[in-house]
Amino acid sequence: MTVGQKLHQTLASLESAVGTLKGFSLDTQDKNAKQQFEWVRSTIGSNCTRTERSYQLRGNQEPSYKCLHKLNRTSLQAAVWSKQRA
């Protein structure tokens, strides 16, 4: 498995975690817990976005990152959705 493929898989897993945290935030009545879930969700989402952009730029330079060159948020969400249905 290439570095790009591993990163794609990791980002898909993190996007799944973001969705789960959003669900926790919506389900809880505890205001403090809701804020914590939202903070963690936001932090993970921001880091995913920055990591994705960084590796997309490297896709033009490094062959091992090639599969991320065409990676986008939609493909990540589709990967997460199909993984959750399995």
Q: Per-residue pLDDT tens for 32-52?
A: 999 999 999 999 999 988 888
Residue 23 to residue 75: CA distance in whole angstroms: 21
pTM > 0.75 = no
Residues composing the chain:
86
Position 28 scores a pLDDT of 94
Helix (H), strand (E) counts: the chain: 3, 0
3-state DSSP assignment of residue 3: helix
Write down the residue that tokens 């997309």 correspond to. Answer: 56
Position 2 scores a pLDDT of 76
Type and span of the H or E element at 52: helix 31-59
